Amino acid sequence: MTSAQELVDDREGENIFRVHRSAFTDPAIFDQEMAEIFGRTWLYLCHESQIAKHGDYVATQIGTQPVFVIRGSDDDIRCFYDVCSHRGSRLTGRTSGSAKTLTCRYHGWCFNAEGACTLVRGGDEAYRPEDLDRMDTNLRPIEKFGSYKGFLFGCLDADAPPLDEFLGGAMPFIDLMTDQAPDGMEILRGESRYMMEANWKLQTENSTDGYHVATVHRNFATTVGYRETLAPEGDSGMAKTEASRILSLEKINSGGYDVGNGHMINWADRGNPEAGPSWPQREALLQRYPAGKVKWMLERGRTVTVFPNLLLNDVASSCIRVWRPISAELTEIETWCIAPKNEAPEARRARIRKYEDFFFPASLAVPDDVRAMEGAQIGSEALEDGWNDLALGHKTLVDGADDAAKELGVTPLNSNPGREVETPFFAFWREWVARLTP
Ligand code: FES
Ligand SMILES: [Fe+2]
C-alpha cells in the first residue's frame, strides 16, 4: 500500500512540494485518516451558545463515532459517546435539542444530563445487583473535552496535547473574531447541512485557497455588484457587499500564513471596511486593543483554517464551517452564522444578509465552490501519476513574519505577501503526513 509519505513529495531544499492525487481517492488512505487523524486529534464539536441551558444538547460525530455535548444541572458542559449503555442504541434523536432526561427509545433506560443512569426499567426485578455493577450503566465521557473562547472541541485520544497547545498559532487569529464581542458570541438560529461528492481535504485546501476566489467567485462579485446598481439606496452603508476585494485583487494587500500544527491563515484587506457589521465598534475596540490588532479585526478579511476540518471565516460576514468525511468521495458540510451577542439590529441584519449571499448552501458562492471541488475529485481519478504541484507563491515565500503579521505581533512559521498562493497548504499536508506516519 502507498504510504502518506510517498503521496507528498516535499523537498524543501529544492523548493518542490507536490501532492499525489490518489490522496483524494484512495479508500485505504481514507481508513488511515479516520484512525490516525479523526480518531486522535482535537475536533470542533459546537459553540457553547448552542447549549445555553441545563439539558440543551448538540449531537454530532467525531470521525465515525456519534457523540453529544450537553449542559448539566451544575452548568458544566460534558461530551459523551452517543450510545445507550444497555444495547447500543443512539440516545439523541435530533442534531440538537433540550432534554434534562434522555430516555432511550429502545427499552426505556434513562440518563440525566450529567451522564448518570437514573432508571433501568424493570431492573430491580430482573437484574442481580452484581450484573448492574459489572455493566457500568452510566454514559461514557469522551477522552478529552475542551473550550477555547466558547468553541468546544473533543478528542478521542487520552494522550493528545492540551487544546491550547494544539490550537497554538491559530489562537491570535481566532481572537480577532471573538474579541470583537464584549458580551461573547452566539450562533444564529438555523442549521445548514449539505453534501459534497468530493474528498474532505479538497474543502480543507479550498478554505485557505485565495487563488480560486477571483475565478470561482467572480459570479458572486458581478451579481452583487450589479444588484447594488439596481437598488443603490437599499444596498448602501453597512448593507453594501465587499465585492471589490474579489474583483480588484491588485489594489489590495493580502497574504497567507503557516501558523503551525496544520493550521492555515489567508487574509485580504477589505476594499470598503466601513461596510463591515463591526465597523461602528471601532472606537470602542481602539480603547481596548492596540491599533494594529483593531486594523486586523476590521480592515482585513480572514479565513482561519484549523486542522483538519474547521474554518472560521470573518470577512463580509462571519461563519463557522465544518466538513465531516463520510467516504473518500463524500463529505458532509455544515455552516453556521456566528455573531457578537447584543449587536445593533442593523449590524445583525447586514451580517445575516451577507451570510446568505456568500456562505449559505444556496448562496452565490457555495454552489460554485462545491462544483469546483467535485470537478477536482473527478479529475483526480485520471492518470496513474497525477500530481498537484503546489508551487504557487514559492517565489515570494518568506520565513517568519511579514509586515502585516508584525502589526499583529505574531510570528507565523512562514508568510506570503499575497493571497494567491499555495504555500500555506504546506502546513496542512506536513501535519497530514506526520499523523499518518507511524
Ligand atoms: S438499548 Fe437503550 S434501553 Fe436498551
Ligand atoms: Fe470559495
Q: What is the DSSP string of 204-233?
A: HHHHT-GGGHHHHTHHHHHHHHHHHHHSTT
pLDDT higher than 80, residue 23: yes
**86-117 burial by CB neighbour count: b if 16+ within 10 A, else e?**
beeeebbeeebeebeebbbeeeebebbbbbeb
pLDDT higher than 80, residue 336: yes
| Local confidence band at 383 (pLDDT 50, 70, 90 cut-offs) | confident
pLDDT higher than 60, residue 76: yes
Nearest ligand to residue 215 Cα: 2
Q: What is the pLDDT of residues 315-330, one digit of tens each?
A: 889 999 999 999 999 9
| Local confidence band at 69 (pLDDT 50, 70, 90 cut-offs) | very high
pLDDT higher than 60, residue 249: no
Residue 130, Cβ density class (10 Å: 0-12 exposed, 13-18 middle, ≥19 buried) = exposed
Q: 293 — phi, psi (to 5°)?
A: -70, -40
| Local confidence band at 224 (pLDDT 50, 70, 90 cut-offs) | confident
Ligand 1 contact via 107 beta carbon (within 6 Å): yes
Ligand 1 contact via 109 beta carbon (within 6 Å): yes
Q: What is the pLDDT of residues 386-421, one digit of tens each?
A: 999 999 999 999 999 999 999 999 999 999 988 889
Ligand 1 contact via 105 beta carbon (within 6 Å): no
Ligand 1 contact via 285 beta carbon (within 6 Å): no
Give the per-residue pLDDT at 297: 97
pLDDT higher than 80, residue 245: no
Give the per-residue pLDDT at 234: 59
Per the structure block, which three cell numbers stand in for 35?
Answer: 484512525
Give the per-residue pLDDT at 250: 61
Give 3-state DSSP helix, strand, coil % of the chain, rounded to 5. Answer: 35, 25, 35
Residues in the chain: 438
Residue whose CA lies nearest to ligand 1 atom number 3? 107
pLDDT higher than 90, residue 246: no
φ/ψ bin of 114: left (φ > 0), alpha (ψ from -120 to 50), beta (otherwise): alpha
pLDDT higher than 60, residue 356: yes
Q: 24 — phi, psi (to 5°)?
A: -95, -10
- Label the pairing between strands 254-258 and 414-416: antiparallel
Between the CA of 209 and the centroid of ligand 2 the distance, in Å, is 8
Ligand 1 contact via 371 beta carbon (within 6 Å): no
pLDDT higher than 60, residue 17: yes
- Kindly list the domain boundaries of the chain, sorted by start residue: 44-147, 169-436
Residue whose CA lies nearest to ligand 1 atom number 1? 87
Give the per-residue pLDDT at 271: 83
Give the mutation target among 109, 135, 140 for probing the ligand 1 site: most ligand atoms within 8 A of CB.
Answer: 109
Ligand 1 contact via 86 beta carbon (within 6 Å): yes
Q: How far apart are CA 218 and CA 231, in angstroms?
A: 20
Nearest ligand to residue 218 Cα: 2
Give the per-residue pLDDT at 369: 96
Atom of ligand 1 minimally distant from the CA of 88: 1
**Mean pLDDT, residues 134-162:** 97
pLDDT higher than 80, residue 251: no
Give the per-residue pLDDT at 252: 82
Ligand 1 contact via 215 beta carbon (within 6 Å): no
Between the CA of 146 and the centroid of ligand 1 the distance, in Å, is 29
Rg (CA), the chain: 23
| Local confidence band at 244 (pLDDT 50, 70, 90 cut-offs) | low
pLDDT higher than 60, residue 51: yes
pLDDT higher than 70, residue 87: yes
Atom of ligand 1 minimally distant from the CA of 91: 2
Do 200 and 63 form a contact (C-beta atoms < 8 A)? no
Between the CA of 112 and the centroid of ligand 1 the distance, in Å, is 15
Ligand 1 contact via 89 beta carbon (within 6 Å): yes
Residues within 5 A (CB) of ion ligand 2: 369
Give the per-residue pLDDT at 233: 65
Q: How far apart are CA 264 and CA 415, in angstroms?
A: 10
Q: Which amino acid is at 386?
A: G
Ligand 1 contact via 117 beta carbon (within 6 Å): no
Ligand 1 contact via 87 beta carbon (within 6 Å): yes
Residue 362, Cβ density class (10 Å: 0-12 exposed, 13-18 middle, ≥19 buried) = exposed
Ligand 1 contact via 104 beta carbon (within 6 Å): yes
Residue range 44-147 forms a domain whose CATH class is: mainly beta
Give the per-residue pLDDT at 328: 97
Q: Which amino acid is at 16?
A: I
The mean predicted confidence, pLDDT, of the chain is: 94
Q: What is the pLDDT of residues 152-211, one digit of tens each?
A: 999 999 999 999 999 999 999 999 999 999 999 999 998 899 999 999 999 999 999 999
Distances (CA, A) of 285 to 171, 280, 295, 317, 417: 19, 10, 10, 18, 26
CATH no. for 169-436:
3.90.380.10
Whole-number percent of the chain with pLDDT over 70: 97
Q: How far apart are CA 215 and CA 29, in angstroms?
A: 31
Give the per-residue pLDDT at 408: 96
Between the CA of 121 and the centroid of ligand 1 the distance, in Å, is 10
